[in-house]
Amino acid sequence: MPKGNLKKTRVLVPAVTAALVVMMTGTMLSTTAFAQELIDATTDRGLKFVNDPVVTVNKDGDTASLSASGEVSGAGTGGTAKLSSTAEVTVGCIVPGASENEPQGLQTEDEDVVGEATLDVTRAGRGTFDFTTDTVGIPSDFDCPSRNMEETLVSVLFTDITLTVTTDEGKSITATFTDVDP
């Protein structure tokens, strides 16, 4: 390789490598994020979210739930944060160990999902929250038609995800989030 091109290669290869690493990191982070996209947030007489509140989806085997965290200003002496959603829960039956095991006997039910927490007042007018809703999963009255089959949670679609913060003085704000099927 001619000497003039060697200097260009020494600079160009590390620069291209660094650019690829930065691009891949952004892609990897976006595919592993569990936070839901905020659609809209309101304010009320000085009560507002300090930064966008975060709602995450939790799925563990045959159960799922939502979690909320954030901070508000203008909260006065305190209040509550409440996260609500409708969960469209689909369950079915599988045969353990079968090579092709598509769930059978699918049943879908809507369940109200709610979680609530008292604001943790961190300093005058500021409050934080961090809590998880009730879990949803396989209904206790769902049974598979055969002893060789096992109940399984096929999917959960959380819709109408709404976070409401209400102060002790009666101010109230809401944030709405996109629907999600973990």
What is the domain partition of the chain in residue ranges? Answer: 1-33, 34-177
Binning pLDDT at 50, 70 and 90, where does residue 124 land?
A: confident
Query: Could you tell me whether strands 79-94 and 63-73 are parallel, antiparallel, or unpaired per DSSP bridges?
Result: unpaired
72 — phi, psi (to 5°)?
-125, 155
Structure tokens at 28: 């990897």
The reported pLDDT for the residue numbered 34 is 61
Please write the tens of the pLDDT for every residue from 21-63: 333 333 332 222 367 899 999 999 999 999 999 999 999 889 9
Tokens 């563990």, located at residue = 60
Res 41: pLDDT: 94
The pTM of this model reads: 0.78
For CA atoms 138, 142, 147, 153, the dihedral sign is negative
Query: CB burial class (10 A; 0-12, 13-18, 19+) of residue 135?
Result: middle
| Token couple for 69 | 């965290």
